Structure 1
Amino acid sequence: MLVAAAVCPCPPLLVPDVAAGAAPELAAARDACADAVGVLAACRPDLLVVVGPADDPCVYRQGAVGSFAGFGVDLSVRLGPGEPAEPGERAPQELPPSLAVGAWLLERAGWADAPVEGLAVAEELAPRLCADAGEELAARAARVALLVMGDGSACRTLKAPGYLDERAASFDQVASAALGTADTRTLLGFDDRLACELKVAGRAPWQVLAGAARDAELAGRLLYEDAPYGVGYFVSVWS
């Protein structure tokens, strides 16, 4: 059963070594993420699953390694404490960037409160399948917590990665309200095609969360909301 969740943005710029001189610009987001991870620890879960978007869907065991070398930084992270397990038949060598950022948040918090796994979700995964995946996660243990990584629209300004789309701000406004109030119905109702057009990396992970929380009766709280670099970033906790 899902007992807690934290929603965090997943840009590698959240990691100070990657952001370099721009690190102070995301300091407030970083602090909010730390508070959110603290809520997960306080709920004493039996299992923590980090969920994030990726090109290739995959399940990662505790100890899987991620790297920020692709962003010009010699920095590696590990998903939870311990040595990496033997890779499965479909397991790639490294965590995708979204899960690597999640692993970095856990390392920064000194996470040792529960076993950790990772779930990389294809960004184009249909909403119904996202919800089904969430329900399966919630049934994994008596007390399950999720760290859900994902960004809002990348089309908020002219200089945004996806340029300006007039629909982006209203989409993010609805997403922010839903994430801040644990509104599973609204999250599950997001149109996957519109989210793709608006370059919303968090749509599928948020719908996994909504599926996991459908019968959990959790309350939500928004800790952070902003759109630096023209991308919507949100931090919220459900407990």
Structure 2
Amino acid sequence: MITRAAVVPHPPLLVPELVAGAAAETEPVRAATLAAAGKLPGPWVVVATDAAGPATFVPPMSGTFLGYGVDVPVSLGGDLPPDARIPLPVLVAAWLRERCATEVSRVELVAPDLPMADCVSFGRRLAAEDCGLLVLGDGSTRHGPRSPGSDDVRSGPFDSSVHTLLSAADADGLLDLDVGLARELGAQGRAAWQVLAGVPGPWRCSGAEFFAPFGVGYHVAVWERP
């Protein structure tokens, strides 16, 4: 049974070598992400949203962040040569695994447009596994003028709501998130959060934080069984 889950973001800025000029500005989200992931028991099953989904990645597997500017090698386990085709969430999962000194059973990528009902079904299938569940997903990409997308005033209320729901371990509330609005705001974490919400509870949140450096929303939370 899954007894603990961590929600974290997966931007390249987590890797200090990729943001040498902004390492200090991005340190709070990096520290919070590592702290949350470090609370998970191993082995991990990782769920993330990515356009490459549905897809499953299992160790041994290695990759590199070279496509994001610096050749930082990472491994899900084993010592195979780096595969340049590995999607970003898998690279970040490997980077976190190395720093938390644990094992990853597999990384499951789900499509950004996965319907809520399918997310719930996926979460229910995961529920019986004896693992720590690491959920990777970013919030809106449209927070203010520094954002990758154009500013959208709906981003603040949207991510504020997500933060409140994660803080309350409110699975039903996460399942009620507006899929269309999440898409418009670039919040691709929606599907991964709803997979978590599909894992039967009860749950309680032992800590949640929100960050928005450079105009993108990043949620960090730890859920555990009471």
Q: Could you list the per-position Cα deviations for residues 104-145 of structure 1 after superposition, in whole angstroms to 9, with x for gaps in the alignment?
A: 111112224xx5210111111111111111111223x2x232
Q: Which amino acid aligns with 1:118?
A: V
Distance 2:79 2:169 in 1: 35
State the partner residue of 2:86: 95
State the partner residue of 1:133: 122
Q: Which amino acid aligns with 2:78?
A: G
Matched, 1:157 2:144: yes
Change (3 A) 1:59 1:27: same
Do 2:50 and 2:112's aligned partners in 1 also have CA atoms closer than 8 Å? yes
Q: 1:83, CA displacement in angstroms?
A: 4.7
Q: 1:175, CA displacement in angstroms?
A: 0.3
Q: 1:156, CA displacement in angstroms?
A: 1.1
Q: Could you list the per-position Cα deviations for residues 77-122 of structure 1 after superposition, in whole angstroms to 9, with x for gaps in the alignment?
A: 112x3356xxxxxxx974310221121111112224xx52101111
Distance 1:234 1:203 in 2: 11
Do 1:32 and 1:223's aligned partners in 2 also have CA atoms closer than 8 Å? no
Q: Can you give the 5+ residue segments of structure 1 that lack an aligned partner in the other structure?
A: 85-91
State the partner residue of 1:60: 57
Matched, 1:231 2:220: no
Distance 1:5 1:224 in 2: 15
State the partner residue of 2:100: 109
Change (3 A) 1:93 1:120: farther
Change (3 A) 1:123 1:56: same
Q: 1:158, CA displacement in angstroms?
A: 2.1
Do 1:6 and 1:235's aligned partners in 2 also have CA atoms closer than 8 Å? yes
Secondary structure at 2:209 match in 1? strand
Change (3 A) 1:66 1:188: farther
Q: 1:67, CA displacement in angstroms?
A: 2.0
Q: Which amino acid aligns with 2:168?
A: T
Q: Can you give the 5+ residue segments of structure 2 that lack an aligned partner in the other structure?
A: none
Q: TM-score, normalised by structure 1?
A: 0.86
- Post-superposition, which runs of at least 4 consecutive aligned residues in structure 1 deviate over 3 A? none
Distance 2:223 2:86 in 1: 25
Aligned length: 221
Q: TM-score, normalised by structure 2?
A: 0.91
Matched, 1:82 2:71: no
Q: 1:62, CA displacement in angstroms?
A: 2.2
Q: Bigger shift: 57-66 or 7-16? A: 57-66
The two structures, once aligned, show a CA RMSD in angstroms of 1.7
Secondary structure at 1:201 match in 2? coil
Q: 1:200, CA displacement in angstroms?
A: 0.1
Distance 2:7 2:86 in 1: 18
Do 1:66 and 1:97's aligned partners in 2 also have CA atoms closer than 8 Å? no
State the partner residue of 1:49: 45
State the partner residue of 1:22: 22
Secondary structure at 1:216 match in 2? coil
State the partner residue of 1:222: 207
Distance 1:95 1:133 in 2: 22
